[in-house]
Structure 1
Amino acid sequence: MRFFKIVSVIIVLLAGAYSLSMYYFVDESKSFQLEKEVDYPIDKVFHQFNNLQNFTRWNNFFTSSKTIDIDYYTPYEGNGSAISYVDPKNDTDGEMFIRYENPNKTLKYQLFEDRNENPTLVNIKFKPVSAEKTKIIWYVHTPKLSVLSRVQNFWTEDRFTENIDKSMVNLKNVLGNKVEKDKQMATIKYDSLMVENEEAKLVLGINVSASNKKDALYRNIVMNYSKVYNYVTMDLGKKDDEFGYPILITDADNYKDNEVSYFLGIPLSKKIGFSDNNFNFRSISPTQNYIMYYKGPYSGRIKAIQQLIQKAKKDEMRFGDIRQTFIERPIEGQEVNMKLSLSVFK
């Protein structure tokens, strides 16, 4: 009996010492700031923060869990927009609000986590460093915690910083694909032969052999594009801003064959694990290309391909595969909008 009394006294003393140390030496709330820079203009960066549907696509707090369920509330953008979320696997839920917006300058968020009635306040300032670079500054103020819960403040800043570091990687990938698509659309000149240096790409897709009779090849491409797109977006959970335009890779002159073999895939920023053996990654090395943009019936691409091949032969260049990049998704019965790229070398 005496032993239990001694243990009880020790526990009381330790609890008291813990409470006193938390009360006197640990703040009831925590304030800190964090700065990052991204190599994209302020108007494109800001839109990824003031639109919560965009925000949840790259912020690691939301993307790191496959079981999180998010509801969006109107307005979906700017002051007054809000979301609520539930993550049953991690046993968390909460609500997030945009309480103030000064376009391209400032945003103020409130985040209510679990059953805490006091929000985490996050103010973000955006400053243009140059026409193509933006500084993002987070000012974070955590809610007041009870004496027994204040130990959490020891790792709050580290946890927030880690989340931002991972989020910035995701944001750069999203903006990179979005800016690349915008630039590509803005510079299109149809039926003009041009020279382009293409950077390396990593493409996830499938290998296919299909009949080349009448419209059979294009129908097959449409069907397999849907397979790849659905796998990337539904099975792998990627959003449209996270990947590039679909690419079909095939021999340059196989349009004359009765059967065509091709690889059809979607560019991703990095390799990821997956279990479906029908899909595989293909790396595209940096190349110099003769290119033409074409819009019309899929069968009409042959004339453009012939022009590219003739140009390569005239310049005494050897050539490799032809790449068909679909600027607009292929749809059966509709015209295609694509870039044809013939890789050339001495």
Structure 2
Amino acid sequence: MRFIRLLIAIIFLLGGAYALSMYYFVDESRDFQLEKEIDYPLDKVFIQFNNLQNFTRWNNFFSSSQSMDIDYYTPYEGQGSSISYVDDKNDTQGELFIRYENLNKTLKYQLFEDENENPTLIDIKFKAVSPERTKIIWYVHTPKQPVLKRVKNFWTEDRFSENIDKSMVNLKNVLSNKVEKDKLMATIKYDSLMVEKEEEVILLGINVSTSNKKDALYKNIVMNYNKMYNYVTMDLGKKQDEFGYPVLITDADNYKDREVSYFLGIPLSKKEGITDNNFSFRTINPTQNYVIYYKGSYAGRVRAIQQIIQKAKKDVMRFGDIKQTFIEPPTEEEEVTMKLSLPVYK
């Protein structure tokens, strides 16, 4: 009995000490600031923040959960727009509002988490560092916490900072697909042989063998592209700015063969779980390529491929499989717009 009384007394003393330390040494709310820069124009960056449908695609808090349900409310963009979310698996829910917008300059969010009636206030300022680079500054004010819950304030900033770091990687991937597409279409020089370096690419695709008679190959490509596109957009739920141009990889000179084997894939920012065994991931390592941009019939690409191979042989370069990147998706119309890339090595 004496031991129990002693134990209760110790618990009360420790609880009191904890409460006093929280009261006197831990702030009831937190204010902190984070800065990041990204290599994309201000107007392209801002619309990823003021449109909440865009925002939830790349913000790690929302995009990392496979079990979160999100409802969007009109207006979907700018001041007055809002969302509510529920994640039963992770036992969390909340609402996010855009309370103020100054176009391309400032946004003010209110985030209500779980049962807390006081919101986290998030003000974001955007500054153009250069025509192609934007600074993003977060000003965060957390809600007041009761004394016994103030310990959360020790890791609030670290948790927020970690989420921002992951989100910026996602945002860069989204913008690289969207902005680079726009730039490429405006600067293409057709039928000129160039040298380009290509970074690592992750492709989700399908392996195919088919006849090379007449137009059978191209019809097969169109069919499998439509299958790939439907899987990426419907089964994986990807939006247009979340994946790149379709890429076909095959032997450089198999245009002579009666049967052609190829891998047709769509670039994604990262590998993720897939449920259909017909599809698989392939990672393309960084390479130096001889490149020709070509526009015309699919059969007419052969001349451009021959030109690239002849250049590689003339320069005494070893080469790998040729990559056919469809700048315009392959359709039943026979004319294509594509980049032909031949990786070359000494």
Could you tell me the TM-score, scaled by structure 1's length? Answer: 0.87
> In the alignment, is the contact (CA less than 8 A) between 1:210 and 1:220 conserved in 2?
yes
Q: Percent identity?
A: 69
1:68 and 2:65 matched? no
Listed one character per residue, the Cα deviations across residues 198-217 of structure 1 (whole Å, up to 9, x for unaligned) are 41332422221012234432
- Structure 2 residue aligned with 1:313, among 307, 310, 315? 310
Within a 5 Å distance, the mapping from 1:117-266 to structure 2 comes to 117-189=117-189, 192-204=191-203, 205-233=205-233, 238-266=238-266
Q: CA deviation at 1:270?
A: 4.7
- Kindly tell me: are residues 169 and 143 of structure 1, through their superposed partners in 2, closer, same or farther at Cα, counting changes over 3 Å? same
> Secondary structure of 2:62's partner?
helix
Q: CA deviation at 1:342?
A: 4.5
Q: Which moved more, 1:210-219 or 1:124-133?
A: 210-219
| Equivalent residue letter for 2:295 | Y
Structure 1 residue runs of 5 or longer lacking an equivalent are none
> Secondary structure of 1:306's partner?
helix
Q: Which moved more, 1:92-101 or 1:178-187?
A: 178-187
Q: CA deviation at 1:246?
A: 0.7
> In the alignment, is the contact (CA less than 8 A) between 1:322 and 1:342 conserved in 2?
yes
- Kindly tell me: are residues 274 and 311 of structure 1, through their superposed partners in 2, closer, same or farther at Cα, counting changes over 3 Å? closer
Listed one character per residue, the Cα deviations across residues 93-116 of structure 1 (whole Å, up to 9, x for unaligned) are 011011111111111001010111
- Kindly tell me: are residues 42 and 5 of structure 1, through their superposed partners in 2, closer, same or farther at Cα, counting changes over 3 Å? same
Q: CA deviation at 1:276?
A: 6.0
> In the alignment, is the contact (CA less than 8 A) between 2:200 and 2:284 conserved in 1?
yes
> In the alignment, is the contact (CA less than 8 A) between 1:202 and 1:270 conserved in 2?
no
- Structure 2 residue aligned with 1:303, among 300, 304, 308? 300
For the residues of structure 2 that align with 1:290 and 1:113, how far apart are their CA atoms? 51
Q: Which moved more, 1:106-115 or 1:248-257?
A: 248-257
Q: CA deviation at 1:314?
A: 7.5
> Secondary structure of 1:261's partner?
strand
> Secondary structure of 2:298's partner?
helix
For the residues of structure 2 that align with 1:159 and 1:45, how far apart are their CA atoms? 23
> In the alignment, is the contact (CA less than 8 A) between 2:37 and 2:134 conserved in 1?
yes
| Equivalent residue letter for 1:113 | E
Q: CA deviation at 1:303?
A: 2.1
Q: CA deviation at 1:132?
A: 1.7
Q: CA deviation at 1:56?
A: 0.9
> Secondary structure of 2:299's partner?
helix
- RMSD across aligned C-alpha pairs, in angstroms? 2.6
Structure 2 residue runs of 5 or longer lacking an equivalent are none
> Secondary structure of 1:302's partner?
coil
For the residues of structure 1 that align with 2:303 and 2:197, how far apart are their CA atoms? 21
- Kindly tell me: are residues 148 and 258 of structure 1, through their superposed partners in 2, closer, same or farther at Cα, counting changes over 3 Å? same
- Kindly tell me: are residues 314 and 227 of structure 1, through their superposed partners in 2, closer, same or farther at Cα, counting changes over 3 Å? closer
| Equivalent residue letter for 1:267 | P
Q: CA deviation at 1:14?
A: 2.8
- Kindly tell me: are residues 340 and 301 of structure 1, through their superposed partners in 2, closer, same or farther at Cα, counting changes over 3 Å? farther
Within a 5 Å distance, the mapping from 1:59-98 to structure 2 comes to 59-98=59-98
Q: CA deviation at 1:223?
A: 2.9
Q: CA deviation at 1:239?
A: 4.1
Q: Which moved more, 1:272-281 or 1:319-328?
A: 272-281
For the residues of structure 1 that align with 2:273 and 2:92, how far apart are their CA atoms? 27
> In the alignment, is the contact (CA less than 8 A) between 1:320 and 1:342 conserved in 2?
no
| Equivalent residue letter for 2:268 | L
| Equivalent residue letter for 1:7 | L
Q: Which moved more, 1:82-91 or 1:275-284?
A: 275-284
Aligned to 1:6: 6
